[in-house]
Chains A and B, each alone.
Chain A
Amino acid sequence: MPYDEPDATDPNMLVGVELPGTEESTRDMAYVFAEEFARLGFEKRRLMSLFKTPFYAGAHRAYLELGEAEIEKIADECLAIWGRVKFVDADTNLHSA
């Protein structure tokens, strides 16, 4: 981010443009992150921390907009399916190939 206030005479200054989107876009995004990372094996605590951490701006934005209770509900719904299974990987020995 720039340090100073925008200079109106700067031809390269950011010009904000509103793009069409619905309220559901944020909810959809929250569902996608919750489902994808639940599929990757995240449990409730890790999933919620993904939404709570400001570093992950997309997920955190949904957390701020929808509130913790709603995010928790979404996480629970996704974990109800993907949280019940565990993915397990069995590597073959790479150096014996």
Chain B
Amino acid sequence: MPQVYNWQLNREMEYPYQAAFPQRQFAFVFNTNRCLACQTCTMACKSTWTFNKGQEHMWWANVETKPYGGYPQHWDAKILKLLEDANPGGQVWNKQNGAARFEGMTIFEAGKKKLAPESARVLGYLPEDHEWNSPNIYEDNPKGIKGEKYKLDTEGAELPVHKTWFFYLARICNHCTYPACLAACPRKAIYKRPEDGIVLLDQEQCRGYRKCVEACPYKKSMYRGNTRISEKCIACYPRVEGTDPESNGRPMETRCMAACIGQMRLQGLVQMNNDGTWKEDRYNPIYYLVHVAKVALPLYPQLGTAPNGYYIPPRWVPRPYLRQMFGPGVDQAVERYMHPDRELLAVLQLYRRSNIIIYRYKLEEGKKIYEGTLRGQPVSIYNDTVIAYDKFDKEIFRTTIDEPVFERPALHANSI
């Protein structure tokens, strides 16, 4: 197998194809500290792409409650166990030589060791129907009255009370740099677009072998029974291209991003180097959050697909769990996020101020307007202005503080 460089693991790894990288890469940063599991993103995606017959079980965008929940059920616990079985005790990060390096096996490397026949390239598993069919079973869902369809419970619904810590994990396809779905497809029906790195599945080529469903560790490739081919998240590519009528020619964020009421989603397009690392783009907000502030981390980087979905970890969750989920950078990320500097605070204000993709931001510094403490830690607020620019370097919006805000009158409170 060819060797490719995976910067998230800080080492080379095996991958069935030679490395090839897009000019820009679709990437996003989700702030889990803000997610309330309202499922608005889930429904925005569902009502746009997967509302047809045969797609009932498909949720390209979903929000699950961690540590218990998962769609399909226990997807992460299952793939982590498969890897542990393949490499007992060896799935570790080595931080002795400065930067952390993953010393364990990726799903590609473990696949070579564990799988037969040789044509199988990726370690994975095929979820059963019941694992797909109840995306949030036993999670925080109110229940209706038994046997009464389509009726509200007039007594109200009682929610289960967790006895432990938990948080909400919003997920879409990570449009990985080394996609497992692409690696596993015997038909070469899955490809990565050179212009934006979006991973698409060619439905003319697909024959429904479900190798991609089996291989994707995040389980974001899904089989459709009535067409007998697979489907996956397309990153709302007409919007990202700027060809959606609503975008008016300017690249626009996906439906799930645009719908987020908790303002926890930011999406962008980062520039790539020839070796798969990100080209320095200091004032691209995604680049800043991942590579400068280092508060956003990839989801299960040890799987080896180099996912392009990044997460600001939840501050209140026990660190060992977070280290397993987001890698060794968790402690630094949480500390920096808990005590943000003025640039990080400004960049966080870019979240959901516009649906147009931000290519660049500029910070205009203002004077200090407040100094105090929160939970014993010093906090300073500056009257800074952050300005966002689009693909054509035209200003999209600017956000500043300490000025009056317009409130929608009660008469039009819900109008769009």
Contact = CB atoms under 8 A, between A and B. Distances in A.
B343 interface: no
A57 B37 contact: yes
Interface in A45-60: 50, 54-60
B97 to A, nearest CB: 30
Q: Which of B130, B146, B315, B348 has the most CB of A within 10 A?
A: B315
A78 interface: yes
Nearest to B383: A85
Contacts of B390: 97
Contact of A94 (B130, B167, B248): B248
B394 A92 contact: yes
Contact of A85 (B168, B249, B356, B369): B369
Interface in A63-92: 64, 77-78, 80-81, 84-92
Contacts of A18: 163-164
A67 B329 CA distance: 34
Interface residues of A, number: 48
B315 A32 contact: yes
A8 interface: no
Nearest to B394: A97
Contacts of B140: 57
A21 B38 CA distance: 24
B159 interface: yes
Interface in A3-17: 3, 12, 14
B20 interface: no
A87 B141 CA distance: 34
B99 interface: no
Interface residues of B, number: 61
B349 A77 contact: no
Q: Which of A26, A58, A61, A91 has the most CB of B within 10 A?
A: A58
Contact of B263 (A40, A56, A80, A91): A40
B416 interface: no
Contacts of B166: 58
Nearest to B67: A19
Given A28-B315, A92-B394, A57 B399 contact: no
B397 A92 contact: yes
B399 A89 contact: yes
A15 B82 CA distance: 20
Contact of A2 (B137, B164, B321, B399): B137
Contact of A1 (B141, B163, B356): B141
B162 interface: yes
A89 B242 CA distance: 23
Contacts of A55: 38
A3 B349 CA distance: 43
B374 interface: yes
B347 to A, nearest CB: 13
B325 interface: no
B316 A90 contact: no
A77 B394 CA distance: 39
Contacts of B404: 86, 88
Contact of B162 (A33, A39, A61, A97): A61
B160 A81 contact: no
Contact of A86 (B249, B318, B403): B403
Contacts of B100: none
Contacts of B349: 87
B372 interface: yes
Contact of A20 (B137, B141, B314, B318): B318
Given A1-B143, A81-B370, A89-B398, A12 B130 contact: yes
A58 B400 contact: no
Contacts of B396: 91-92, 94
5 contacts: A3-B143, A18-B163, A29-B314, A32-B33, A86-B405
Given A85-B402, A87-B349, 4 more contacts: A37-B34, A58-B37, A89-B399, A97-B249
Which 4 pairs across A and B sit closest by C-beta, in order of nearness? A28-B316, A57-B140, A21-B165, A1-B143
Interface of B: 31, 33-34, 36-38, 67, 130, 137-138, 140-143, 146, 159-168, 248-250, 263, 314-318, 321, 348-349, 353-354, 356, 369-370, 372, 374-375, 379, 381, 390, 392, 394-405
